[in-house]
C-alpha cells in the first residue's frame, strides 16, 4: 500500500520550536550519529522503532528526522501504517537543518 508521506521543511520546524509548540522530534539515526550533532529529540534508531512504539505519544505531532531524509521517510511511513495520525518527515534531515538554519552545527 502506497502511503502519502507528509513532510515539513526545516523552516517550518524552526517555527514550531520558536512557537514552543508541543511536539516530539524523533531522531531515527544511530547513537554515534546522534552524539556528533542532534536537535535534542528523542533518539530511537530506525532498526529499533518497531519494538519501541510504546515510547511515543500517538496523539502528539511527531517530526521524524535522520541525516538526509531517507530513513526518516521510511520511519514516517511505518508510523503512519502503525496508526499514528500526526507524523511528518523532516525534508532533508539534519543536513538541511545545518545548512539552512544552524550553520554552527557540526557537519558530518
What the chain holds in terms of domains, given with CATH numbers, is 7-100 (3.40.250.10)
**pLDDT tens digits, 1-13:** 556 899 999 999 9
Distance CA 85, CA 83 (A): 6
What's residue 106's pLDDT?
60
Using DSSP, state whether 106 is helix, strand or coil.
Answer: coil
Which pTM value belongs to this model?
0.93
Residue that is written with C-alpha cell 550519529 in the block: 33
Sign of the dihedral through C-alpha 81, 82, 87, 89: negative
Say whether pLDDT at 37 is over 70.
yes
**pLDDT tens digits, 6-35:** 999 999 999 999 999 999 999 999 999 999
**pLDDT tens digits, 55-108:** 999 999 999 999 999 999 999 999 999 999 999 999 999 999 999 998 777 655
What's residue 3's pLDDT?
63
Residue that is written with C-alpha cell 505531532 in the block: 61
Amino acid at each position: 500500500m502506497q502511503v502519502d508521506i507528509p513532510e515539513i521543511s526545516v523552516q517550518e520546524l524552526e517555527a514550531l520550536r520558536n512557537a514552543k509548540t508541543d511536539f516530539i522530534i524523533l531522531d531515527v539515526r544511530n547513537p554515534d550519529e546522534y552524539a556528533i550533532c542532534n536537535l535534542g529529540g528523542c533518539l530511537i534508531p530506525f532498526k529499533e522503532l518497531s519494538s519501541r512504539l510504546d515510547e511515543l505519544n500517538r496523539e502528539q505531532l511527531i517530526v521524524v528526522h535522520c541525516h538526509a531524509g531517507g530513513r526518516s521517510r521510511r520511519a514516517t511511513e511505518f508510523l503512519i501504517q502503525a496508526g499514528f495520525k500526526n507524523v511528518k518527515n523532516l525534508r532533508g534531515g539534519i543536513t538541511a537543518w545545518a545548512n539552512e538554519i544552524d550553520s554552527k552545527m557540526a557537519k558530518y
